[in-house]
Structures are given as structure tokens and as C-alpha cells.
Structure 1
């Protein structure tokens, strides 16, 4: 039996083996999401990554491999490394109870375009519109428009990742992100699963996550590739 501690070391791999198995695009030693859902992949054996990346590049122009410390091998005739994003994994220790004053709603498929537009406005480059199918999304509406959201991304039988934490630039500094993360965390805990999240090192939001009870536990790097 694989422990949650082991799954957290390679969250994409185990998400695709469990909750998100229906989105799996498998290669020998490497696993990717269906690129309509997400362009993330994972591996255990670096000797298998070059061939798999070249094959997956026929399905999507750019994509990521996520790893704690392993360095993927690539075929530089077919694949270009855009950049390595140095990130970290954060895991909930004890949720800090905060007052929820906003009306937080569970978003439906009717909001899929609004979610996509807001994420790409604030954090362009990775989110796919059908990523909505990976988990629940929650939002806050102001002035008849969606202005802040949180979503759920990687999932196994043991944990759920909080992602897509974005607020429209015109509505920041109102505590929306804090309340949405707290709300989403509680929803995950109701399922008896461990809330986790990932972010890049040095992100100014890290103190907010720590204030809510999350702790940095390990590196989690994002290798961004593009088809040549």
C-alpha cells in the first residue's frame, strides 16, 4: 500500500493513478493529463522522459513535468526547455479559523468561461478551460461579475490540491483570497482528505498560506517545455 507521504512526493503521478485516472495519457515510465484538461505530467524514471516528451508534444505545443528533485532528460532536437520554475509544496497542519463574511458560491459549468478568463488575466500560461473538470471551484461575485476564485486540481484518495487562487486586480486587498482558501480547505477536510497546495518559491502569497495553517514541506519544481 502506498502511503500518503509517498504520494505527496509525486502528486501528479498518483492523481493520475487514482482520482484523475480517466484523464490519463500514459507513456512508458511517464504519465500526462489529457491536454484538454491539463498540460501536466510526471515520471519516476528519467531515462524514459525524452521519448515520452517528444510523443506528448504531438498533442500539445507546451507542457510541464513536475518533480521534487529529479531532472528530466529531453531530446533537444524536438523539445525546448522554456524554463524551470522553482516551486514548493505546502501541506495543511492546523487550519486557522477565520470569519467568512463574503458569499462564497460553488461554481457550475455555466461559469467555465468566467473562470478561464479570470485565471488567464491574473496567471496566464497554464490553465486549460476543461481544467474545471478536475475538481470543485468556488467564487465570489461583485458587481455582477466573478472577481475571485479558488479551485481544486490534483487529487488522490488521500489529498486534494487547492489551486487557481486568483483575484481580479480591481478587487484585491479585500480578504477574498484568504476567505476562499479557508472555505475550500474546510470543504476538503469534510471529505477526510488532506488539503495541499503548490506555489513558486518567493511568492508573496506564502505568508497568507502560512497564516491559514499551511507549512512548506518540500521542493516541487515545474519544468516547462515547448515543442520545437
Structure 2
């Protein structure tokens, strides 16, 4: 069987390897190690925390066995930012183009007095908002990855943002979403700036990921002071059935 690949935009050949080239791995083996499982080659978040996973390097000759040992036969495994040639029996299930954005000096974070901290008691509302708005994967314990905040109207959660991946010195702003009835009021912008403020307070810098097709969100992030660092790919492969 011919090798199957995931299309990706390759990094510049002279660019040094950076934690942001493999942010999930550095998060899983760093601050979020206690929320992960796996081995020295492949790791994933606990399923109730997040569906994200990563490998140390797709060039490692033992990587395929390590992934198979981690998730089992016939299971899904996410692939991002790379273009591995799949061995026989492995299948590409999904692929999509994305972008990675990082803050610049133009970003002006600020706390929002109306933002409320969200936690375990708010999970049903958080999951319902995610279901309505589809900002990306969100599990019952995703809020444990970092600080999540929201805005309420008449007691109802209508906007949210928080922290996801935390590779050394960086924190990803994620789950940015607003209920359709409350969009174009600047609520998401306020929450992004609030989350970024608290990221700065602990000495990190902020980054974001977005689907390449989500041009409206990307334009908003760029106006806030983020810039494109790299184009990437988000994909999913299925391990072979034994």
C-alpha cells in the first residue's frame, strides 16, 4: 500500500525548532503532565479533559508503535503541524488548514470587571454554549487546563474564553465563543483581552489557533495585536485494526 500523507505547510528549513512548532507535546509533557497519559514518544490528554494528543517527533522510527500502544487498534489520533507518511493500515480520517497566531507588542490586554470565573459548577452551561457555537473541541474537564471566564446576560452564559495548551512560556487562548444572539457586541474581544491579561500576569505570552477559513475571527485577532506565525494543518488518523 502506498504511503498516505497529511498535507502541511513545511517550516522554513533554516528555522530552529521552537516549542510552538509542537505546542501540544510541550504542554502534555510540561504543565499539563498530570492531566495526560502515554509514554516517552506519544502522549494524550485524559479523554474527559481533551481529545488532543501529540508525539515527540514523527521522525522517530518507533512512533507508530507508540501511538498504537497508547490508543489501541482502530482508534483516532490527532495530527497537527506535520506531514507524516502513514504506514500500511493507517487511514487519514480528516484534515483541515489552520493558522497559528502569536501576540505582538501591539496587544493591549486588560482585565474585564464583568467577566466571571467558570469552573466545575458551570460545565453544563459551558458545554451547551460550545454545542451552540462550535468553537472547537471541549470536554467535561477541559476547564481544568487553565483559567476560563465568561459573560452572563440575565444569568445566562452567553460568551466564554479560556486557556488550553501551555507550552513553555506560552499559553493558548481557546474556546472563544459567543451565543448568536449576542454577537457583534465585542464580548469575545473583551474576554480575549481579559484572558491575555492574566496570561501576562504569570509571565507567559499568548497564542491562538484558528481554522484558516475563519477569516472573520483571524481579522479580529490581528486587529487586537496578534500576527500570523505559521500556517499549519489539523488532521486525524485512524490506527490499523488488528
TM-score for the superposition, normalised by structure 2: 0.81
User: Does 143-152 or 114-123 show the bigger shift?
Assistant: 114-123
- Paired residue total: 222
TM-score norm. by structure 1 comes to 0.86
C-alpha distance in 2 between matches for 1:14 and 1:56: 18
Asked if 2 retains the 8 angstrom alpha-carbon contact of 1:87 and 1:199, the reply is yes
Note the 1:166-185 alignment, pairs <5 A: 166-185=177-196
Change (3 A) 1:28 1:98: closer
Cα-to-partner distance string for 1:176-221 (whole Å, 9 max, x where unaligned): 1111111111111111101111111131200100011000101232
How far the C-alpha of 1:76 sits from its partner, in A, is 5.6
Instruction: Classify 1:208/1:163 alpha carbon distance in 2 versus 1 (closer, same or farther; 3 Å).
Output: same
The CA distance in 2 between the partners of 1:100 and 1:155, in whole Å, is: 20
Asked whether the 8 Å contact 2:173–2:206 carries over to 1, the reply is yes
Question: Partner of 2:199: helix, strand, or coil?
Answer: helix
Which consecutive unaligned segments of at least 5 residues does structure 1 have?
none
Q: Displacement of 1:83 after TM fit?
A: 1.4
Asked whether the 8 Å contact 2:148–2:162 carries over to 1, the reply is yes
Q: Which runs of 5+ in 2 are unaligned?
A: 1-15
Once the two structures are overlaid, the 10-residue window that deviates more, 53-62 or 154-163, is: 53-62
In structure 1, how many angstroms separate the alpha carbons of the residues matched to 2:74 and 2:137? 12
Is 1:186 paired with 2:200? no
Please state if 1:221 is matched with 2:226. no
Is 1:12 the counterpart of 2:24? The answer is yes
Question: Residues of 1 paired with 2:238 and 2:79: CA distance?
Answer: 11
Could you tell me which residue of structure 1 aligns to residue 58 of structure 2? 45
Contact 2:110 2:193 in 1 (8 A): no
Q: What are the residue-to-residue correspondences of 1:71-150 with 2, within 5 Å? A: 71-74=83-86, 77=89, 79-97=90-108, 103-123=114-134, 126-150=137-161
Contact 1:166–1:177 under 8 Å retained in 2: yes
Aligned match of 2:3: none
1:31 is the counterpart of 2:43 = yes
Moved more, 91-100 or 38-47: 91-100
**Distance (Å, rounded) in 1 between the aligned partners of 2:28 and 2:109:** 33
CA distance in 1 between counterparts of 2:66 and 2:47 reads: 14
Residues 69-89 of structure 1: per-residue CA shift (max 9 Å, x gap): x22344564x54221121111
Q: CA 1:208–1:62 in 2, change beyond 3 Å: closer, same or farther? A: same
| Structure number with larger C-alpha Rg | 2
